[in-house]
Chain A
Amino acid sequence: MTTTNKISPQTPSQTIGPYFAYGLTPEQYGYNFKSWVDNKMVDPSKNLNTITIYGKVYDGKGNAINDAMIELWQNDGETKLFGRYGTGSDESNHFSFLTIKPNSVDGQAPYINVIVYMRGQLLHSYTRIYFSDEELNNSDITLKSIPKERQHTIIANKTSDGYEFNIYMQGLKETVFFQI
């Protein structure tokens, strides 16, 4: 990089606010505007190993948030996937995604990137979903860099319905968020 490059100031972030649904997740919420992305990240007729990841987003009082938007980003070099879903179209404020588990890259435990947006967040939050049935979790550099008592906050639990991943914005169970 040459020293003549001028640095342009980053455009500041602002909250997604409470009214994003008809613009960003319109079909999910029943608005008359075509969605270009949703929570079905893979076609189950073409993928045998689909998994469902589901959960809720909780505020500092333990209430499930009904106006958060979640995006999943994953790329293991073989499959690159993107999904988006809001927590406001389900009575109990769940999100859910249909995807496949990424492969391990460079010996690291497989994970999916998560971006969380909501009213009350002026900047979005980054986290990751790891999977409870992965041996590689025990030796993963990123997981090991996190205090032991917090590691479980980003490991989705395998259940009979898929993987459960709840996001806690604050409190004792506060999810690990990353600086990215």
Chain B
Amino acid sequence: MGKLIYNQFDMELQPPYKAPDYKSTILRAPSKPLIITKKNLSELSGPVFKDFKLGILDHDLTKNAIKYGDPIGERIVVSGKVTNELGQPIPNTLIEIWQANAAGKYIHKVDQHDAPLDPNFLGAGRCMTDANGNYKFYTIKPGAYPWGNHHNAWRPNHIHFSLFGGDISSRLITQMYFPKDPLFEFDPIYNAIPKRGRELLVSSLDLSITEPEYALGYRFDIVLRGHNETPFENK
């Protein structure tokens, strides 16, 4: 294990701000050294989701945007555990997800990819971890899509995740990938992560999560920065 400084990004596992192969980082990465500061109350707290009301279909992207019938594509179920760096579960924390449809097309207005939208699929959802830090949602396996980074740049299949945890330092935006994607080796976003960290973003096919005759299951466990057992309480 690398040396771990609690509550800081472990740069042996995390991508750098500037990764020139991913061209958009060149004009957007901070260039000056970060300032180290003491944490106050404001850094040590975050939104509380105790009384948060999810929509009934928020956790099921195969159903939350149906207009005429089921969305097209491979139905999957994604599940895992959210813990802190000591392996302690993080209960009742919100997970937000967004992704392309089976054809590799995002519903977002600026997506220029010449692929069809699915009238029955939005590609956005939410779920909450339970008392043991476990979460689960249903969706359609997203397709690969091209992007303008370089000639023939295609993103490996992925689902975008947003998580909170206990405070400002546990906040995480990431992407979940699928096992053995042949596009991994060509993707500068995935490869910006130090080698040792890459596998941590690859889900695994899991028959114990798979629902017979219904949906293949993928496991994706998430470790948020920090080590506070009780994330936070509202004042």
Does A124 lie within 8 Å of B37, measured CB to CB?
A: no
Bound together, the chains give a CA A83 to CA B42 distance in angstroms of 14
Does B24 lie within 8 Å of A119, measured CB to CB?
A: yes
Q: Mark A84-114, 1 if CB is under 8 A from B, else 0.
A: 0000100000000000001001101001110
A-B CB pair tally, cutoff 8 Å: 242
* Interface secondary structure of B, over-half rule: loop
Q: Which range holds the interface residue count of chain B?
A: 35 or more
| B87 CB to nearest A CB, Å | 5
Does A142 lie within 8 Å of B38, measured CB to CB?
A: yes
Q: Mark B78-93, 1 if CB is under 8 A from A, else 0.
A: 0000011111000000
Q: Please choose the segment from A74-82, A130-138, A156-164 that sits at the chain B interface, where 4 or more of its residues have CB less than 8 A away.
A: A74-82
Does B110 lie within 8 Å of A11, measured CB to CB?
A: no
With beta carbons under 8 angstroms apart, the residue of B9, B109, B125 that contacts A123 is B9
Bound together, the chains give a CA A141 to CA B124 distance in angstroms of 42
Contacts of B169 in A (CB 8 A): 180
Interface residues of B (CB under 8 A from A): 1, 4, 7-10, 13-17, 19, 22-32, 34-47, 52, 55, 64-65, 83-87, 94, 96-98, 100, 106-111, 122-126, 160, 162, 168-169, 171-175, 189-190, 192-193, 196-198, 200-201, 222-225, 227, 234-235
Could you list 12 examples of A-B contacts with CB < 8 Å?
A7-B1, A8-B87, A10-B14, A12-B197, A12-B201, A76-B42, A80-B45, A105-B40, A122-B16, A122-B25, A145-B35, A146-B35
